């Protein structure tokens, strides 16, 4: 299992390690590693479901997404998972709606 340890924490651990014996330093790093949640791909929501949730929260309709995604046909195709989000769409949704790019770039199934 892979763990994500913030760089600041590890930097502090290494800086404060001067003057500590090696076993104390190892114990401290081990404690930090166990305290951090594992990194999983499942931690982020599905891009289309998240987009639909943002639309619902902000009271947006399909036609409101035309300026970010393109034609109404494109909007419909993306929301029904017939077409994947393009890089241009992802950039627009991130820039103008504030949807995290990390969510939008995830792979998802198109039908």
- Please indicate, yes or no, whether residues 74 and 53 belong to a single structural domain of this protein: yes
What pTM was estimated for this model as a whole? 0.62
At 37-82, the pLDDT tens digits run 554 556 899 999 999 999 999 999 999 999 999 999 999 999 999 9
For the cut 60, the answer to whether the pLDDT of residue 35 exceeds it is no
Residue 111 lies in a domain: no
pLDDT the model gives residue 81: 97
C-alpha dist (Å) from residue 83 to 9, 25, 58, 59: 41, 51, 23, 23
- Please indicate, yes or no, whether residues 72 and 50 belong to a single structural domain of this protein: yes
pLDDT the model gives residue 24: 73
- Nearest Cα residue to 85 out of 74, 95, 96: 74
What single-letter DSSP state applies at residue 55? Answer: H
> pLDDT over 90 for what percent of the chain?
60
Domain that holds residue 91: 44-104
- Please indicate, yes or no, whether residues 54 and 98 belong to a single structural domain of this protein: yes
pLDDT band, residue 2 (cuts 50/70/90) = very low
C-alpha dist (Å) from residue 108 to 83, 85, 89, 94, 98: 10, 10, 15, 17, 20
């Amino acid at each position: 299992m892979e763990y994500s340890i913030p760089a600041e924490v590890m930097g502090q651990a290494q800086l404060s390690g001067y003057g500590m014996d090696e076993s104390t330093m190892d114990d401290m790093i081990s404690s930090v590693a166990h305290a951090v949640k594992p990194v999983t791909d499942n931690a982020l929501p599905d891009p289309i479901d998240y987009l639909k949730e943002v639309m619902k929260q902000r009271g947006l309709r399909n036609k409101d997404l035309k300026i970010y995604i393109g034609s109404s046909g494109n909007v419909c195709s993306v929301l029904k998972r017939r077409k994947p989000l393009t890089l241009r769409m992802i950039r627009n949704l991130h820039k103008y709606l504030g949807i995290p790019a990390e969510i939008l770039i995830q792979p998802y199934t198109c039908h």
